[in-house]
Amino acid sequence: MGKRQCAGEALARVELFVGVVTLLQNYKIEPAKGREIDLEPIFGGILLPKRQPLRLVPLVH
């Protein structure tokens, strides 16, 4: 975090946070129809989750 840090970085982080929160407030995240979530990780230098087909279901408020 030197003195030449991007002046808009904090704003960008807030905008990303607001975007993710808005998605989570308005949609339910589910596996694709007929699929289940596979919790087995991909092994390597670090553990990574496998790609999962998901769908967003609008919530009724």
Render pLDDT for 25-39 as a digit per residue (tens, 0 to 9): 999 999 999 988 888
Between 37 and 20, name the one with better pLDDT.
Answer: 20
First and final CA of the chain: distance in angstroms?
Answer: 42
37-48 pLDDT per residue, tens: 888 888 888 888
Output phi, psi for 15, to 5 deg: -65, -40
Output phi, psi for 25, to 5 deg: -75, -25
Q: What is the dihedral sign for C-alpha 35, 38, 44, 47? A: positive
Instruction: Find all residues with CB under 8 Å of 39, minimum gap 6, and list them.
Output: 49
